[in-house]
Amino acid sequence: MTAEPQVLSTGRDILSIGPVMPVVVIDSVADAVPLARALARGGVRAMEITLRTEAGLGAIERVAAEVPETLVGAGTVTTPEEASAAHRAGARFIVTPGATDRLLGAVLDTGLPLLAGASTLTEILRLREHGQMAVKFFPAEASGGTAYLRAVAGPVPDISFCPTGGITPANATEYLALPNVGCVGGSWLTPKALVASGDWVAIEGLAAAAAGLAAGG
């Protein structure tokens, strides 16, 4: 029996899906559905398909239509036009690397849950003023890593984070142990070489290992 997808209303809902959010850069739309199904078999029923390639929007559309048990989101959304296109393609949530006024307004207008990127307290406070209590901490390792997240827990204890950028199986557990981290974003679940070769069994194994990680927050 196909599992019913989780209902997403806020950014915090995105953080609660699982310990690791796959950050997927896809080169061929044809790979989208088998990739989503391999992740789901491994226990990972969400994926952020980035708009870094021309295949991104088409991949989101295919997964949304053909793998309903998977919550598919659009990542690397950087313009209002991309936000609207992702919504039309069937994205269930949107992830941005940052948030200008126009971009933030456009994403909020879609009504989709948002994980907006931030790496400074000013950016975090600004997002909180717009009702965003869950934030993508990006680029995580380059911006101070776990030490930074421990420090900001003092002034913004009500904000939850999804660190992305430089997260690996070796350091994911350290991030997930922090009480203000709900999940991490990682590209290691869908290595380009495995996707290109169609090694869905290997990707299923990577997903199963990631699904077994525990979040501290």
Q: Show which residues are catalytic.
A: 48, 136
What's the chain's Rg over C-alpha atoms? 16
- What strand order describes the sheet that includes 134-137? 160-163, 134-137, 114-118, 93-96, 71-75, 46-50, 20-24, 184-186
**Displacement of CA 74 from its chain's centroid (Å):** 8
